[in-house]
A = this chain, B = another copy of it.
């Protein structure tokens, strides 16, 4: 028995994005219960030169979106990072879930050995599909999901590891 590439990507990201959405819901509920503005948390960060919560959530969406688009060669929806509220971020998560959920298994399975190009502002990197997933896209996704969790946890939002892990789809 072995694992198909689809099962290393779409269900993994779907579970994580749903967990992220539920974490943001808990943040909104906690803010309401304590009389603060949850949207003010979108600018919190661990240290001055690190990305704030809003960017962690945006990147936690882009990482799966771009991974699924690169593997499947299906064109991804464009997001221009214009979100200003948690409600906006929830729409972005929903949009990302809809996109990755729309890509059929057949478009991803079998892409393990195909070159995948990732472009950065300073250049580009070429991976094969399988190491791109396990060595780049998945760790990158969990990095931003964990950062979003940690930033809200640090604000006192009542979160535990189960909120991060989410539930199997």
Contacts and interface: CB of A to CB of B under 8 A. Distances in A.
Interface string A7-51: 110011001100000000000000000000000000000110010
Interface stretch (A87-95, A99-107, A139-147): A139-147
Interface stretch (A67-75, A77-85, A149-157): A149-157
Contacts of A52: none
A165 interface: yes
Given A15-B135, A113-B1, A134-B12, A164 B143 contact: yes
A5 interface: yes
B7 A156 contact: no
A11 B138 CA distance: 14
Interface string A97-133: 0000000000000101100000000000000001100
A7 B129 CA distance: 13
